[in-house]
Amino acid sequence: MNARTAAYWTTTSILCLSFLSGGVAWLAHLEAPAKGLAELGYPVYLLTLLGTWKVLGALALLAPGLPRVKEWAYAGIVFNLTGAAFSHAASGGPAGRVAVPLVLTALAVASWALRPASRVLGTLRPEPEPARMPVPALAKTA
The answer on pLDDT for 20 being more than 70 is yes
How far is residue 22 CA from its own chain's centroid? Answer: 15
Q: What is the pLDDT of residues 43-70, one digit of tens each?
A: 999 999 999 999 999 999 999 988 999 9
pLDDT, average across residues 119-131? 65
Q: What is the pLDDT of residues 7-17, one digit of tens each?
A: 999 999 999 99
Q: Say which residues have a Cβ less than 8 Å from residue 57's Cβ, sequence separation at least 6.
A: 19, 23, 73, 76, 77, 80
CA 24 – CA 128 distance, rounded (Å): 46
CA 82 – CA 110 distance, rounded (Å): 15
Q: How far apart, in Å, are the Cα atoms of 87 and each of 68, 93, 109, 136?
A: 28, 8, 20, 66
First to last CA, the chain: 66
